[in-house]
Structure 1
Amino acid sequence: MAVPKPKQGRERRRWWARPLRWWHALAFASGVLCAPFGFAGNQQEEALADSVRLALSNAIMDARPPKPVFLNPVDRSQYDTWYGAMSDRLKRKLPDEFTRREFLETAWYEARRAGLDPGLVLGLIQVESAYRKYAVSIVGARGYMQVMPFWTNVIGDRDRSKLFNMQTNLRYGCSILRMYIDMEQGNLYLALGRYNGSRGKPEYPNAVLAAWNKWKL
Structure 2
Amino acid sequence: MSRGRRHMLVAGLALFAGLGPGSARAGGQLEEPLADAVRTALSSAVSNGRPPRPGFNNIEERLAYLRWLGAMSQRLLRRNAEHLTRVEFLETVWYESRRAGLDSSLVLGLIEVESGFRKFAVSVAGARGYMQVMPFWARSIGDGDASRLFHLQTNLRFGCVILRHYLDRERGDLFLALGRYNGSRGRAEYPSAVFGARKRWDYQEKA
Q: TM-score, normalised by structure 2?
A: 0.89
Counterpart residue identity of residue 109, structure 2? G
Distance 1:210 1:90 in 2: 16
Question: What is the distance in 2 between the residues matched to 1:130 and 1:94?
Answer: 11
Match of 1:88 among 53, 74, 87: 74
Aligned to 2:136: 150
1:142 touches 1:164 (CA, 8 Å); kept in 2?
A: yes
Structure 1 residue 20 corresponds to structure 2 residue 13: yes
Q: Which residue of 1 aligns with 2:184?
A: 198
Counterparts in 2 of 1:15-54, with a 5 A limit?
A: 19-21=12-14, 28=21, 33-35=22-24, 37=25, 40-54=26-40
CA root-mean-square deviation: 2.1
Q: How many aligned residue pairs are there? A: 196
Match of 1:115 among 89, 93, 101: 101
Which residue of 132, 144, 147 maps to 2:118?
132
Match of 1:184 among 170, 182, 192: 170
5+ residue gaps in structure 2?
Answer: 1-6
Name the structure 2 match of 1:67: 53
TM-aligned CA deviation for residue 59 of structure 1: 1.1
The Cα of 1:72 is off from its aligned counterpart by 1.4
- 1:119-169 alpha-carbon deviations (Å, 9 max, x no partner): 100000000000000000011000000000000000000101001001000
Structure number with larger C-alpha Rg: 1
Where does residue 5 of structure 1 map in the other structure?
Answer: none
What is the rounded CA distance, in whole Å, between the counterparts of 2:170 and 2:63 in structure 1?
Answer: 34
Relative to structure 1, the CA distance from residue 16 to residue 91 in structure 2 (aligned partners, 3 Å threshold; closer, same or farther) is: closer
Structure 1 residue runs without a partner (length 5+):
1-13
Change (3 A) 1:110 1:20: same
TM-score (norm 1): 0.85
Give me the identity figure in percent.
58
1:41–1:147 Cα contact (<8 Å) kept? no
